[in-house]
Amino acid sequence: MTTQTAPTTRRWWALAVIAAAQFMVIMDTSIIGIALPKMQAELGFSQENLTWVFNAYVIAFGGLLLLGGRLSDLLGARRVFAAGWLTLLVGSVIAGAAGNVATELIGRAVQGGGAALIAPSALTLLMMLFGSSPQELTKALAVYGAAAPAGGTAGVFLGGVITEYISWPWVFYINVPIALLALVAVPALMPSAPARSGSVDLLGAATVTAGLAAAVYGIVRAPEVGWASGQTWGVLAIAGALLAGFVVVQSRRREPLMRLGIFRAPNLAAANIAQLLLGAAWVPMWFFLNLYLQQVLGYSAFPSGAALLPMTTLIMLGMIVLAPRAMQRFGAKPMIVTGLLVLALGLGIMSLVRPTGNFWVDVLPASLVAAGGMSLAFIPSLGTAISAARPEEGGLASGIVNVSYQVGSAVGLAAMTAVAAAFGADQIADVSELTSGFSAAFLGAAVIALAGAGIAAVTMRTPAAEPVSETV
């Protein structure tokens, strides 16, 4: 009895560490939101370049995810998981200690690289620990899935508390003790796997990461240098060439980062497009809502974080309680289309924000509607993207859908930053112009969500039975 209990107990402790990894990866994208205005003032970010505190993390995370998954397969998930925590720790120290814009962005990029090692290896470890028991695997995936919205909620709240009562560098330093505990726990709790022979597609990883960075840089800089300028189009052309080069490299390599044929699986491409547009609509809303609360309504950091708690709590409950049950009854496609439509409605309402507004009228109703849409669409599109692939390619499918969401987040935020600046968001001293810029960004995000609903309605197939809720 004792011999069986100990390994079982150890596995669930290992799951706690894996869930903590998912929690931290998501928290590191949301915890900075409340701290942005103080970071802007102390480090000298311009209003347009402030998005790079988010984008530096997301581009490194999204661009290196496929490489992280490949390294996990070759070197062993436990080694890569530990390396990811160590990298995240180093990046957090750099970001927290930064005294200028360049150092801050380097720290955020290193954090993103750590997250790109952690995320795919964590899911591989989970499958190694619980894959032999379908019943236990379902429970483990539920815990793992719940960690993402919990991380988003905690990030918003902790970001407000830390920024208000300690100082903004601690939104990064908070990672250090957690990473140290994880590094101690990994050798004791995680299963080991022998290294495998194979090649690493470093050229593919370099081209996709550089291509994403160039695309986002070109879009962010466009309002300042002009959309018609040679610099803007030159950078975007370079981005297009790099991303096209990535596709060519993948098509010719024997062991690519991403096997292109996987997209022939029914609904895989459609679900990834839904995730991409979901990120492109949601993240700009989250980013500019933080700025509206602080720069227009005059909230300090802690009240601003508290103001977003109802929205993030609803997302967490919706994803864990509502979405799986609704998927069983209605199927994934209606959920994705409806969720994107509801998100577009919430963003449309949010675009009515006023310079003289208040939380109860201008923020709470719209944010709750948007949160409802997000919670309906996210889990079905994620589950469909993973379950559409062959079982042996589940890890690759998981990596691709993570990349889709992160790329959508980065490019959507860059595009809506350009829209906001064009409509006055760069006029920080003029509250009316500032609000007009934020309103334009919300409306633009609503159009993205609406386009996502239309594309999902046209491209997604409805199979006879949808076992998506068992996957997530």
Angstrom CA distances, 421 to 108, 213, 220, 236, 410, stand at: 24, 20, 10, 19, 17
CA R_g for the chain: 21
Q: For 328-386, how does the pLDDT look when each residue is reduced to its tens digit (9 = 90+)?
A: 788 889 999 999 999 999 999 999 999 999 999 999 999 999 999 998 998 788 878 87
Say yes or no to pLDDT of 82 above 50: yes
| CATH number assigned to the domain covering 262-472 | 1.20.1250.20
DSSP assigned state of 389: S
CB proximity list for 315: less than 8 A, separation 6 or greater? 149, 152, 153, 371, 374, 375
- Residue 142 is predicted with a pLDDT of 65
Q: Report which of residues 434 and 461 the model is more confident about.
A: 434
Q: Report which of residues 369 and 408 the model is more confident about.
A: 369
Helix (H) or strand (E) holding 30: helix 2-30
Confidence of residue 434 (pLDDT cuts 50, 70, 90): very high
Full DSSP string of 131-160: TT-HHHHHHHHHHHHHHHHHHHHHHHHHHH
CATH superfamily membership of 1-189: MFS general substrate transporter like domains (1.20.1250.20)
CB proximity list for 356: less than 8 A, separation 6 or greater? none
Angstrom CA distances, 258 to 113, 280, 284, 410, stand at: 18, 22, 28, 20
Average pLDDT over residues 445-465: 89
Confidence of residue 3 (pLDDT cuts 50, 70, 90): very low
- Residue 86 is predicted with a pLDDT of 97
Q: What is the mean pLDDT of the chain?
A: 85
Return the closest-CA partner of residue 58 out of 26, 95, 90, 81. 26
State how far the Cα of 33 lies from the Cα of 439, in Å rounded to an integer. 18
Confidence of residue 283 (pLDDT cuts 50, 70, 90): confident
Length of the chain: 472
Q: Residue 224, exposed/middle/buried by CB under 10 A (0-12, 13-18, 19+)?
A: middle
Average pLDDT over residues 155-178: 87
Q: For 172-221, how does the pLDDT look when each residue is reduced to its tens digit (9 = 90+)?
A: 999 999 999 999 999 989 988 777 766 778 888 889 888 877 887 787 77
Angstrom CA distances, 366 to 101, 220, 252, 277, 310, stand at: 33, 26, 47, 19, 11
Instruction: Please report, for the chain, the start and end positions of each structural domain, with discontinuous segments joined by +.
Output: 1-189, 202-256, 262-472
> Is-contact 350 365, C-beta < 8 A?
no
DSSP assigned state of 463: -
Say yes or no to pLDDT of 453 above 90: yes
* Fold: same for 1-189 and 262-472: yes
Cα torsion at 22, 24, 28, 31 (round to 10°)?
120
State how far the Cα of 421 lies from the Cα of 439, in Å rounded to an integer. 11
Helix, strand, coil percentages, rounded to 5, for the chain = 80, 0, 20
Helix (H) or strand (E) holding 402: helix 394-422
State how far the Cα of 424 lies from the Cα of 358, in Å rounded to an integer. 20
State how far the Cα of 237 lies from the Cα of 214, in Å rounded to an integer. 9
DSSP assigned state of 359: I
CB atoms within 10 A of CB 181: 13
Q: Which span out of 28-42, 77-91, 117-131 was modeled with the highest average pLDDT?
A: 77-91
Q: Report which of residues 90 and 195 the model is more confident about.
A: 90
